[in-house]
Amino acid sequence: MKKLNIKAKNVIIQILTAIGIALIITLLVLLVTSEEPFYAFSKLLTAPLTRVRYFGNVIELMIPLAFAGLSASLLFRSGLFNMGGEGIFYISGIITTVLATQALGNGLIHSFIVILAASLFGGLIACISGFFKAKYDANELVTSLMLNTILFGVGFYILKTRLKDMSVTGVASAPFLDTAKLTVMVPKTNITTGFLLLLLLTGTIWFIYKKTKLGYMIKMTGINKDFAKYSGMSFFALTMIVHFMSGFIAGMGSSVHLLSMYDRFTWSALPGYGFDGCLVAMLGKNHPIGAFVAAFGLSYLRTGSDIMARSTDVPVEMVAIVEMALVLLITADFIITYLKRKKALAGGTVNE
Amino acid sequence: MNDILALLVTPAFFYAILRVTTPILFAALGNVISSKAGVSNIAMEGTMLTASLAGVLASAYSKSALIGLIAALLVGILFSAFMAYLSLYLGTKVIMAGIALNLFASSFTVYILYMFTGQKGNSASLASKQIPSVKLPLIDKIPVIGEVFSGHNILVYVALLSVVAIYIMLNKTKLGTHIKAVGENPAAAASVGIKVRRVQFISLCLSGLLAGFGGAYMSMGYLSMFTRDMIAGRGWIAIAASAMGRSMVIPTTITSFLFGIFSAIGNVLQLQNIPSELITTLPYVAVFIGIVVYSIRKSRGGRS
């Protein structure tokens, strides 16, 4: 137990150091590029707290990021480098649109059917890359990235030819029915019951990691690919299960996001949440609670930078520099190595 | 159908193949060098994107295409050196660093573009220079062959020459031998006095140099400006080509051309009356099928 505490303490010190360094870098960038660096800096950091609506925006954006992050972290944790969440977000959005525009029952049942169908479809799509990885060792990074573009092409084609509402200008589907949309929980915001679903999901994944054989296998396979072979579950089965779960979560994230925030389906490009999910997973060190916190942090930063961009001369893309500094400092283990070395020099034991 | 076929067997189509394969070939060769050293550089997409912006900006402000090219190459090398430093010295997994830097490059280039031009979509407002095209002497006079091979951007020929150069570098020079030794067995290489990390650092920088060429070609040859996310998956297609070519120079060149052919077909079909949403996915479908077929054959071959 003591050892675990030291490990957890090191991780927390590492993350705080990373945040500190990232903030210093941000300030330096602002000093060089902006006319009002300190005003921009304070907007970036404090603006989301100044109004209920702004903080609502943080939570609204956090939900898809957290779903995507949980989806990616499952794969990364098992040593699978798949970035297919992006395409699944799009194609599950199409499934959501098809079902949410038709009358399928009253409030709860309709939403339930739509989300379940989008999730299942996402899971099946993820199994395409998963199957070829598991059976033939096809590079899942490449196949999933190719699938992203293919799924977008097919989905956009369906949107334009089958789902488009001709009565509105621009590419948009028919409006989602009110029975399908999720219920708003916090007035004056768009925070819906989807947030409860996210909490439930984060808890479930945490439970799977902590208490089940599957969770243990996922972790061990991530450390050593041969482990699955010797532990009674085949690499094939594990890869398929993990891919299905990951696609399921991404599909769920897409439909929850659409049913919370949108009246119609209007995506005419890939939404980016799948790729952001990879960043969230890395920031959260492939841990479900880590992903939850990281999604909040990333969303806070993006909401802050959005408000900053509206009131200063700094473009919103500046946030990429902060995000990258954070991701690279958190995925690099030099801070932990430094902490361990310091402890060893002080006469403590080092457990690598 | 016959109309389409007629469009595909023209010299112009074969000319187009060379034109669209060039960036894929540069990036694929870059990935080959790094893979040989055991540190596959998957950040080709982001490296090319950053380099293409650097080329446009430098050429616009210096009024010289050559300085633009040099800037693109330098930025390509620096970008890869940064990744190499992270993964070799600070302990980030090279694949994680690659994923992160690819995502970073996408918004970072928009940020820099906005800083210089006030635009977020493209660099049309900058008078950036283009790397010139050349007519090959003698070959230019031969019918058909002249039409296919002559009159390309200089970098198209650089790409073809770099196939030869890299083949020689990997197989005939000391550096090439060291790279291969490090990739095959780092411990053994270290035991005979090869500095493993330094060799890996150099090969990552070389892959960045090639990505720099690819980026410069995209914004100063293929197009005449920088546009947001203009690499559009070519870096990933290149990595697929390198994987299917088993990181060997000649097979990787062949697969790069294979994917180039599908891209060129896609470009031709877009002009026909076929939904463009579906046609644009053609090269990606080809890569997907290619990778799957290759993996199936490899795993069958391994079993027998």
Which domains, and CATH codes, for chain B?
Answer: 2-130+154-303 (1.10.3470)
Confidence tier at B300 by pLDDT (50, 70, 90): confident
Hey, which residues 259-298 in chain A have their CB within 8 Å of chain B?
275-276, 278-279, 282
The verdict on a CB contact (< 8 Å) between A320 and B284 is no
Chain B residue at shortest CA distance from A274: B103
Backbone angles phi, psi at B29, to 5 degrees: -65, -40
Tokens of B163: 């196939």
- pLDDT surpassing 80 at residue B156: yes
Which of the two residues, B260 and A230, has the higher pLDDT score? Answer: B260
- pLDDT surpassing 80 at residue A344: no
> How confident is the model at residue A349, as a pLDDT?
53
Could you tell me how far CA A69 lies from the centroid of its own chain? 3
> How confident is the model at residue A107, as a pLDDT?
73
Could you tell me how far CA B294 lies from the centroid of its own chain? 21
DSSP secondary structure, A294-309, as one string:
HHHHHHHHHHHHHHHH
Residue with tokens 């095959």: B184
The domains located in chain A, with CATH, are 1-34+316-352 (no CATH), 55-313 (1.10.3470.10)
- pLDDT surpassing 80 at residue A209: yes
Three-state SS across B250-300? HHHHHHHHHHHHHHHHHHHHHCCCCCHHHHCCHHHHHHHHHHHHHHHHHHH
Please, what is the average pLDDT of chain A? 90
Mean pLDDT of B155-162: 96
Backbone angles phi, psi at B227, to 5 degrees: -125, 155
Which residues in chain A are contacts of B92 at CB distance < 8 A? 328, 331-333
The verdict on a CB contact (< 8 Å) between A146 and B295 is no
**Distance separating alpha carbons of residues A189 and A60, to the nearest angstrom:** 8
- pLDDT surpassing 80 at residue A351: no
Nearest by CB to residue A149, choosing from B42, B284, B292, is B284
pTM of the model: 0.91
Chain A residue at shortest CA distance from B103: A275
Chain B residue at shortest CA distance from A161: B275
> How confident is the model at residue B10, as a pLDDT?
87
**Distance separating alpha carbons of residues B237 and A91, to the nearest angstrom:** 22
Percent of chain B with pLDDT over 90: 74
A103-107, A242-246, B97-101: lowest mean pLDDT where?
A103-107
Chain A residue at shortest CA distance from B108: A320
The verdict on a CB contact (< 8 Å) between A321 and B86 is no
Helix (H) or strand (E) holding A31: helix A2-33
Query: Is A149 an 8 Å CB contact of chain B?
Result: yes
Backbone angles phi, psi at B294, to 5 degrees: -60, -45
**Distance separating alpha carbons of residues A144 and B158, to the nearest angstrom:** 31
A156-208 per-position pLDDT tens digit? 999 999 999 988 888 899 999 999 999 999 888 889 999 999 999 999 999 99
Tokens of B63: 């009024």
Residue B231 sits at the vertex; the CA angle it makes with A148 and B9, to the nearest 5 degrees, is 90
- pLDDT surpassing 80 at residue B268: yes
Q: Are A139 and A63 in contact (CB under 8 A)?
A: no
Confidence tier at A352 by pLDDT (50, 70, 90): very low
Could you tell me how far CA A92 lies from the centroid of its own chain? 15
- pLDDT surpassing 70 at residue B97: yes
Q: Are A64 and A273 in contact (CB under 8 A)?
A: yes
Confidence tier at A1 by pLDDT (50, 70, 90): very low
Chains A–B, number of C-beta pairs less than 8 Å apart: 129
Please, what is the average pLDDT of chain B? 92
Mean pLDDT of A216-228: 83
